[in-house]
Amino acid sequence: MSKTLEKRPPLVPGLSWNYYFPLACPTLEWIVSNNLEKAFKKDSGLAPGILRLFFHDCFANGCDASILLNAPDGNDEKSHPANIGIRQEALLAIEELRRVIYKQCLPVVSCSDILVVAAREAVRQMGGPDFDVPLGRKDSLTFDLDGPNNLPPPFFRTEQLLGVFGQRNFDATDVVALSGAHTYGRAHCSSLVNRTIESDPPIDPDFKNKLVATCPTSQSSNIVNLDARTPAKFDNMYFINLLNRQGVFTSDQDLASHPQTKEIVNLFASNQKEFFDSFADAFVKVSQIDVITSPSAKPSLPTRAYDPYKDLDAPIRNLYHLPTSPEFLFVEEARRKRRSWGENLTFYTRCGYLAGAIGGAGSGLVEGVKAFESGDTMKLRINRVLNAAGHSGRVWGNRVGILGLLYAEIESRIQAARDADDV
């Protein structure tokens, strides 16, 4: 990753930079990256949708995936008026990632961690910064319907933004950097109609005319790109737009004139690296808001809870079927989903032998070619290559196969310990 260990932000106790590596789910980030790369090629608007889902989950009730929960009566967190603009495709993408990850790693990765990694990829793969994210969150089984009221609306002035974010220990640089996420994505007319009827903060006349043409009223069903110049790219063009008085939201444009933020806007507009570095730090801070690192870490809140264990083995009718973390699984269910020692032995020994054989064969192939002599016939050269590749492949296959056997023993012992500790 791009950020060095020395530059990484401090972590909340219980989180780690390599929480799932190397045993629990070492391929987690690769799975998320690979699947989202395909999805973003089909729909570039999915990336800002996932990033927005991440922020609305974390800033409302903490990064606990509570925004993914379904209430039987439909009165849940994602149905709150503040979350009306959440894209259904973003919710579906997280659910699909959960299914794929559970097939590869079993249910040991929380949905809150999946959402954080997905949001980072939504930034990185669209041209934004590449940075590490801490993992180890547990998921909430309840949601607080008052939480989304903490989300700052698009008509807030900078003084109000600084106050709301300041309550969570974010400074002015964090606020401006996080606002830079509006460098891609879209807005509904209901969120920006005040920009078409007010002149404070200032607005470019031509830009205002375009907004009025697209959104004549707040009830208009049209949408507007937050950055008309590079709408599908994560870059610093957002800040250049603000300097040209072309911010879509009041909360955006006001940053360019407020005494605590205007110099930061100027800096980010002229130096994309400064923006990227500040955004990465602010992102990691957001990802640690009120995280749950143990089942009892979060106090009880006024919630509308439901039983996520009901009909656990029945076909999934809802989009988001939790539980997610092993701490929240019944012991019997967790054990049923985990491989036995014999299955681990077979799986890792085969994988180890195959990997070693392939690598060894490649090495032998090179050695066989190096052994060619000027007088060799084609048949002799082929025999040299095959013999060298076969010998090297067998040797390395056996060596790495033994490592696979040892790995199977280690993982089986870890799983046995987890079974003993599971709720």
Q: Which pLDDT belongs to residue 324? A: 39
CA–CA separation, 370 vs 420, rounded Å? 55
29 marked among binding-site residues: no
Phi, psi of 187 (to 5 degrees): -130, 145
- Give the Cβ contact number of residue 329 at 10 Å: 21
62 marked among binding-site residues: yes
Q: Could you tell me which residues come within 8 angstroms of residue 216 by beta carbon, excluding any fewer than 6 positions away?
A: none
- Cα torsion 109, 106, 94, 58 to 10°: value is -20
Look up the CATH architecture of domain 5-286: Orthogonal Bundle (1.10)
Q: Which pLDDT belongs to residue 331? A: 37
CA–CA separation, 294 vs 112, rounded Å? 13
CA–CA separation, 405 vs 308, rounded Å? 37
- Give the Cβ contact number of residue 1 at 10 Å: 15
CA–CA separation, 106 vs 372, rounded Å? 49
Q: Which pLDDT belongs to residue 245? A: 96
Q: Indicate which residues carry an active-site annotation.
A: 56
Bridge partners for 138 per DSSP = 292
List, for the chain, all residue ranges whose pLDDT scores fall below the cut of 70: 1-7, 295-353, 356-357, 360-361, 364-365, 367-376, 379-381, 383-385, 387-394, 396-397, 400-401, 404-405, 407-408, 411-423
Q: Which pLDDT belongs to residue 231? A: 95
130 marked among binding-site residues: no
132 marked among binding-site residues: no
Q: Which pLDDT belongs to residue 378? A: 73
The domains of the chain are located at: 5-286, 338-421
Polymer length in residues for the chain: 423
Burial 274-304 (b: 16+ CB within 10 A, else e): bbbbbbbbbbbbbbbbbbbeeeeebeeeebe
183 marked among binding-site residues: yes
CA–CA separation, 330 vs 180, rounded Å? 42
235 marked among binding-site residues: yes
66 marked among binding-site residues: yes
Q: Is 306 exposed, middle or buried (0-12, 13-18, 19+ CB in 10 A)?
A: middle
- Which helix (H) or strand (E) covers residue 187, if one does? strand 186-188
Q: Which pLDDT belongs to residue 133? A: 97
**Cis check: omega of the bond before 153, within 30 degrees of 0:** no
